[in-house]
């Protein structure tokens, strides 16, 4: 198979590219990434020379190159390309609309135009945040009404509805996955777990929103990659598949677990003013993907957080470059300001 991965230099995308090449020796992967602040070529430096892998710097909102790529015998597109940080979406929603909504539209149009000549499976990587917030009990199912509460979540919801419409209107073989919070190697340090790890390593305070009791379901990134693999190969076109880690944890518990692994005191936690519109709890019912595709998470939170802390300890050069902006300076030298 020939797979086009968009946003493959980001956290989940780079892990998925590496997973595909390791799991399927006869597959080839084309990675398209705009290389914005969270897209890092170093995430895939170890496979850059692999003959079955190629990289192209590009924007999914740019129709011409996307249409050209879909005409090159692509069997599937896995769309990771997205602006994904809630706080940034609150500060400036415009880039989220352009990439997450219009960019998805451009990809769908490229698939539609190629549809008469080739069948391209389109997998839209979405988020559980499209469902909004839960109370103290219950879990999101694929039938839960969509109720996004941040500009980021609204942009992903809009993209999901476009994907659904292109299946029902044009018959495109599309699938949507909605996953809970990922963690693991190569995650950009602004997200909760890598931020907590890097701050603790530098003896800085660990900022926790509100009372720290906002609950998220956590999934180790390689488990997520396995789930996307199952959906890409065997998922039913037009369907949505929730993906979860069966690891609901309050943010405060996550921070304490990280400090414990690093041998640091809990007094390093600092409570800060809560985020605007902060959803209180997410939980995922992923029984559909278990039942239909035989997938379940392998890595429990305790093991996953240990692996993640060890990775950040062993790869300090990687995240310190990001914190100082060195990698952005490198891209400007290589590519200019495009």
Q: Which of 33, 59, 129, 160 is labelled catalytic?
A: 129
Count of residues in the chain = 338
Q: Which of 152, 166, 220, 282 is labelled catalytic?
A: 152
Alpha carbon distance, N-terminus to C-terminus of the chain: 31
Whole-angstrom Cα distance, residue 115 to residue 166?
Answer: 12
Q: Which residues pair with 248 in a beta bridge?
A: 217
**247 Cβ neighbours under 8 A, 6+ residues apart:** 217, 218, 219, 297, 300, 301, 304
Q: Which of 33, 59, 83, 128 is labelled catalytic?
A: 128
Q: Which residues pair with 215 in a beta bridge?
A: 250, 281
How does 15-27 read in b/e, with b if 16+ C-beta sit within 10 Å? bbbbbbbeeeeee
Residue owning tokens 């994904």? 84
At 4 the three-state DSSP class reads strand
DSSP per-residue string spanning 245-292: -S-EEEHHHHHHHHHHHHT--GGGEEEEPPPTT---B--B--HHHHHH
Asked if 128 is an active-site residue, the reply is: yes
Q: What is the DSSP letter of 321?
A: H
Query: In sequence order, which ranges of the chain are alpha helices (DSSP H)?
Result: 11-23, 63-70, 86-91, 94-96, 103-114, 151-170, 192-201, 221-234, 251-262, 287-293, 301-314, 316-324, 326-335
Compute the half-sphere exposure of residue 173: CA atoms within 13 Å on the CB side of its CA.
Answer: 17
Asked if 129 is an active-site residue, the reply is: yes
Supply the residues annotated as catalytic: 128-129, 152
């Amino acid at each position: 198979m020939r797979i086009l991965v968009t946003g493959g230099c980001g956290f989940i995308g780079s892990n998925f590219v590496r997973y595909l090449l390791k799991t399927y020796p006869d597959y080839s992967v084309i990675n398209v990434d705009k290389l914005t602040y969270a897209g890092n070529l170093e995430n895939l430096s170890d496979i850059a020379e692999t003959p079955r892998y190629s990289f192209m710097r590009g924007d999914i909102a740019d129709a011409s190159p996307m249409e050209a790529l879909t005409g090159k015998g692509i069997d599937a597109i896995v769309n990771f390309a997205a602006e994904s940080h809630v706080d940034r979406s609150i500060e400036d929603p415009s880039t989220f609309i352009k990439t997450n909504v219009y960019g998805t539209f451009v990809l769908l149009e490229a698939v539609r135009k190629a549809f008469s000549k080739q069948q391209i499976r389109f997998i839209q990587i979405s988020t559980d945040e499209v469902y909004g917030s839960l109370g103290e009990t219950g879990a999101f199912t694929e039938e839960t009404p969509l109720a996004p509460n941040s500009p980021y979540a609204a942009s992903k919801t809009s993209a999901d509805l476009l994907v659904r419409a292109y299946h029902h209107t044009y018959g495109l073989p599309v699938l949507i996955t909605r996953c809970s919070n990922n963690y693991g190697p190569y995650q950009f340090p602004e997200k909760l777990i890598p931020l907590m790890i890097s701050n603790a390593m530098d003896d800085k305070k660990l900022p926790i929103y509100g009372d720290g009791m906002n609950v998220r379901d956590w999934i180790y990134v390689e488990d997520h990659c396995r789930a996307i693999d199952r959906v890409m190969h065997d998922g039913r076109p037009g369907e949505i598949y929730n993906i979860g880690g069966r690891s609901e944890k309050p943010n405060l518990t996550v921070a304490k677990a990280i400090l414990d692994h690093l041998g640091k005191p809990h007094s390093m936690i600092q409570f800060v003013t809560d985020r605007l519109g902060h959803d209180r709890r997410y939980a995922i019912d992923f029984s559909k993907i278990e039942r239909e595709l035989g997938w379940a998470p392998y890595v429990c939170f305790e093991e996953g957080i240990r692996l993640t802390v060890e990775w950040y300890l062993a790869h300090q050069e990687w995240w310190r470059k990001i914190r100082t902006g060195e990698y952005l300076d490198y891209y400007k030298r290589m590519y200019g300001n495009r």
